[in-house]
Amino acid sequence: MKRLRSNGIVWFLDDEALVPLVEGLKEVPATKRTHETRRAPGRDVFVKYFVEKGLLGMVRNWLVPRGKREYRVGRHLSSLSIPTPSPLGYGLGKRGSFILQEHIEATPFRTAFDEDSRRERLVTGLAALLERLRRERVRHNDLHLENIMVADDGLHLVDLHKTKIKPIGFSRADELANLTHALTMIYDRMTEGEKDLFFDNYGRRDVRPFVERGLRNLRHRWIESKKKRAFLPTSKLVASKNCVYVRGREEAAKGAFLETIKADRKVRVTRHEDHLRKTYRSRRRLRRAWQAHVALEYLEMDVVPRPSYVAKGSLFRGGYVAMEDLGGKGEELDRFLDREYDRMAFDRRCAFCDDLSAFLRGLFEKGVIHADLKACNVFVLSSGFRLLDVEDIFFGAPTEEALKRVLVQLNTSVPGRIAASLRVRFLVKLAGGFNFDRRRMLREVAKASRDREIVYEGVSGLKKEVWQDRRQGSPSPPSHPH
């Protein structure tokens, strides 16, 4: 191995032909890792610089520099025939370390999965790679799908500095760490057939329930970490003075005030030329709303009005969220049904019922729960649905009690004339796929609904209705909304 010093960096190189390449490299101030591709004789070389910050970073750079660790792990994986860009050398500086690797033409797995029509090939390759890691006792510790690259010759592992290669033993926790980190970005979008294909090729169908439980736990921890950083600069957020912007929307939502839509003791909603502002009297509710907006942005779920920024407010002025104005594009579910239900053909009623239940079931499956899902908080668009009152959204595993609460809320906030058969159809469709006793749930939702008045906002204003006594021999009382 060739050793040399250049610009205060000590280099260890496998090939002397790399000397001219590293002689021009310097440590630069930065807040995160930097990387670039440089040309060396006969090949392109990928150069990555690990910046260390603070006292702990300085100690780490002295004891276990990340560039050196990635080089050694890369060599070990190559010796096991696990595909990874060939390590070519490393450099040790005062503020950080470098890794030199073979440059490969490749696409992150997640991008390829979203764009490739032959997803079965990718699913099979991912299962084979993960099975190989288990067999060789390799725990990556950061195995998200940006760290698995798709090249013409197959899948390659990158970003290896956290990887552990265990000389003996590979526990269930080690196995699940690899599986859950790799699958978390795509599992919700995999078909049942693709999931079966994955576990068949992995060779361990019995591990699936543990993986799915681990994915739910991992998702919860990930969302909580995003919520904690909702007011800080991140890859998706830009902080500026008293505002935090969704990155790329810094110049949006600047229009002048037009009108006040709603004002009560909790919130004030105002319309501006190019957005809505929802101003919260309570800082706690503002924080909760923005955290939910940010979590949904990270989840890439387009299910609420798109936010542009949050203004934090002050001691004498409430903070607000500036968001997309849906006005003129649709209306709330209760108004929509009051206006359209009577002129809908039966087939259209059924199709609308199925579309709404599929939308809400998709939210439940992804752990997105709305604690106040009255019909006025579901907005109907020609292209789908959106949830309003984002501050009432929380994230967690769907439970039978949460589903019953949603059903009762919707059931008692839509026009009473909606047929019981459609309400039952909605419940069956919404609860499909969950391990709940739907017959018992139907009875409990019906009983809870009977004890409440029907209250909704119709086209002519607020309406209050009571349940009509069912005729002898008719189906169970209205237990469920459209």
CB 189 within 8 A of CB 301: no
- Residues 241-268 pLDDT 10s: 899 999 999 999 999 999 999 999 999 9
pLDDT for res 475: 38
Are residues 310 and 392 both part of a single domain? no
Q: Is residue 475 part of a domain?
A: no
Mean per-residue pLDDT of the chain: 90
Are residues 338 and 319 both part of a single domain? no
Q: Is residue 472 part of a domain?
A: no
Cα(248)–Cα(292) distance, rounded to whole angstroms?
Answer: 19
- Residues 272-294 pLDDT 10s: 999 999 999 999 999 999 999 99
**Two tokens at 79?**
């010796």
CB 90 within 8 A of CB 67: yes
- Residues 289-344 pLDDT 10s: 999 999 999 988 999 999 999 999 876 788 999 999 998 899 999 999 999 999 99
Residue of 476 and 273 predicted with greater confidence:
273
- Residues 217-235 pLDDT 10s: 888 888 999 999 999 999 8
Burial class of 65 by CB neighbour count within 10 A (0 to 12, 13 to 18, 19+): buried
Residues 105-128: what's their mean pLDDT? 90
Confidence of residue 118 (pLDDT cuts 50, 70, 90): confident
Q: Is residue 166 part of a domain?
A: yes
Cα(399)–Cα(367) distance, rounded to whole angstroms?
Answer: 10
**Two tokens at 344?**
């809908």
Q: What is the CATH number of the domain that holds 81?
A: 3.30.200
| 3 state DSSP class of 269 | strand
Q: Is residue 478 part of a domain?
A: no
For the chain, how many structural domains are there in total?
4
**Two tokens at 440?**
């018992």
Are residues 389 and 443 both part of a single domain? yes
Percent of the chain exceeding pLDDT 70 equals: 96
Q: Is residue 190 part of a domain?
A: yes
Residues 358-369: what's their mean pLDDT? 90
Are residues 79 and 35 both part of a single domain? yes
Residues 234-238: what's their mean pLDDT? 92
Confidence of residue 1 (pLDDT cuts 50, 70, 90): confident
Confidence of residue 31 (pLDDT cuts 50, 70, 90): low
Confidence of residue 30 (pLDDT cuts 50, 70, 90): low
Are residues 63 and 80 both part of a single domain? yes
**Parallel, antiparallel or unpaired: strands 96-102 and 43-51:** antiparallel
Which residues share a beta bridge with 245?
Answer: 238, 309
| Domain span at 245 | 237-323
Cα(334)–Cα(413) distance, rounded to whole angstroms?
Answer: 7
Could you say which of 323, 353, 378 is where a domain stops? 323
Are residues 283 and 171 both part of a single domain? no
pLDDT for res 42: 79
Residue 480 has pLDDT above 70, yes or no: no
Beta strand spans in 281-415 (E): 307-311, 320-323, 330-332, 368-370, 378-381, 384-387, 393-395
Residue 453 has pLDDT above 50, yes or no: yes
**Parallel, antiparallel or unpaired: strands 243-246 and 237-240:** antiparallel
- Residues 94-104 pLDDT 10s: 889 999 999 99
Are residues 441 and 461 both part of a single domain? yes
- 433 Cβ neighbours under 8 A, 6+ residues apart: 361, 365
Query: What is the torsion angle, in degrees rounded to the nearest 10, for the CA atoms of residue 372, residue 376, residue 377 and residue 382?
Result: 150
Q: What is the CATH number of the domain that holds 183?
A: 1.10.510.10
Task: Quote the Cα angle for 133-138-142, to 5°.
Answer: 95
Which amino acid is present at 187?
Answer: Y
Q: Is residue 474 part of a domain?
A: no
Residue 471 has pLDDT above 70, yes or no: no
Cα 232 to Cα 237, 239, 294, 382: the distances in Å are 7, 6, 11, 35
- Lowest average pLDDT, out of 106-120, 215-229, 371-385, 415-429, goes to 106-120
Residue 54 has pLDDT above 90, yes or no: no
Are residues 132 and 116 both part of a single domain? yes
Could you say which of 303, 323, 343 is where a domain stops? 323
Could you say which of 102, 136, 167 is where a domain stops? 102
Q: Is residue 277 part of a domain?
A: yes
Is the overall model pTM greater than 0.85, yes or no?
A: no
Are residues 338 and 318 both part of a single domain? no
Are residues 61 and 147 both part of a single domain? no
- Residues 342-353 pLDDT 10s: 999 999 999 999
Are residues 426 and 378 both part of a single domain? yes
Residue 436 has pLDDT above 70, yes or no: yes
| 3 state DSSP class of 278 | strand
Q: Is residue 481 part of a domain?
A: no
Are residues 142 and 173 both part of a single domain? yes
